[in-house]
Structure 1
Amino acid sequence: MTTPDTGRVALITGGSRGIGYGIARALVARGDRVCITGRNEESLKEAVDALGPERAMGVAGKARDEAHQAEVVERVMDAWGRVDHLVNNAGTNPVFGPIAELDLDVARKVFETNVVSALGFAQRTWAAWQREHGGTIVNVASIAGVSASPFVGAYGISKAAMINLTLQLAQEMAPGVRVNALAPAVVKTKFAVALYEGREEEAVRRYPLGRLGLPEDIGGAAAFLTSDDSQWITGQTLVMDGGLFLNAGVA
């Protein structure tokens, strides 16, 4: 079967594996072209090869590096002349422990990568294409941003900031650009492996739907929020938790 061609282009940060790659796969499958970013050039090349070089390209670099942000948007515009969808998925969580003892330099790194880089990419895609032509932005947040998140507090605070950034951008960029966020619970990725490895059966008991999330779950939601089927939705955060919050407060 021939893959359709929507003529649309998506830029997905942190797209070489995990949730970002799951989103890239979903958008390529429906006919978009995608540019994915990541820090590891080899992983990025493998992802592009798997997605199909005719529909995908990769640009290696650190999301918080402004020169990298500029290069990515420039290369997308040079290659395809447009950037309809931005998915801010790049993130880091380099520390595990109480926030009262958090090294402030680590906190700054978390915010630079998880929040400031998302704003930077949004500003650049807005200036390059979306201000004049419209489009969508999807920010990948986390349920850690809508609840207390013991031992990953800096990550949780940064994801709460991402949710508010979503509101600010949605208000400012309307009506041409719709901006929404996804807030997943634990998804089975290398990034989250410490949260379930060796005790997945125990972790799953907390989820009414009986399993942890998969990258394709998030990919499907991102595909919806970047499609015309969601054209009356903006400024929203979709919690994707397998029913986890249904058990809040249950002994």
Structure 2
Amino acid sequence: MDIQKLFFDGGPVMYPLLALSILCGSVILERLWFWLRILTQEKQIVDRVLDAAQDNWEVAADIAKQATDQPVGRFLYAPLGLRKSDVETFRLALEATAEDELAGMRRGEKLLEAVIALAPLLGLLGTVSGLQQSLGNLQIGDFGTAATADVPAGIGKALITTATGLTIAIVSLVFYRLFQGLVVNQVKVFRKAGNELELLYRQFPPDFSNSTSIAQETPRQSFNPPRKRGKNQFPNPPAPPNVSDSLDPDTDSP
């Protein structure tokens, strides 16, 4: 099968279909690489962070910080990177980060949805225009004569765009459903990891007493009031004269 010949036989509608196929292919390849990196490293990151959190929260935070190039690493580091937090703040940090990361995982879905909707319609448009060209010049008396010999070939060429559009839409739909399933699975992974991390936080809360005391003492030691930095540059003003002395009757008049 000559693909180049089929492309030109399909007519001008094949050009937008080609553009849609390129967009669809680029999104699929990028998403496949994205999910391949996540699925191969995700479980290891979660296990290391949870294991370290049982003994030392600072070590767990360092492990999560090193894995911030992964969505699950950023998800776990969001509450661990806080200097001081309570249970409610810990949970809010997990929920907010989970929403952002899941939204990033859905990147490209809108484009695939557009391809799924547009590709069959463009293929049908090419078929209708091809049929119009093939059957537009025929008369009623031409059926069964030599004038209709090229009609089946024209109809076959007109159906090329429909087949192309359906093929692009089917491939896009398959990967669209695959990526949606992976996102749903990530929701479960994030929920499970977040619940386990929060449970460890409730059982073994980190000790912020040292960091709190340092944070409170440091500003007092480093801050010197302006009055204590040095002597006053301006001399003290002289004491005002005693008004009672000037009004004393025993005082000599000038």
Q: Normalized against structure 2, the TM-score is what? A: 0.22
The structure carrying a bigger strand percent of its residues is 1
- Greater RCO, 1 or 2 (C-alpha within 8 Å, sep 6+): 2
Q: Normalized against structure 1, the TM-score is what? A: 0.22
Structure ID, larger Rg: 2
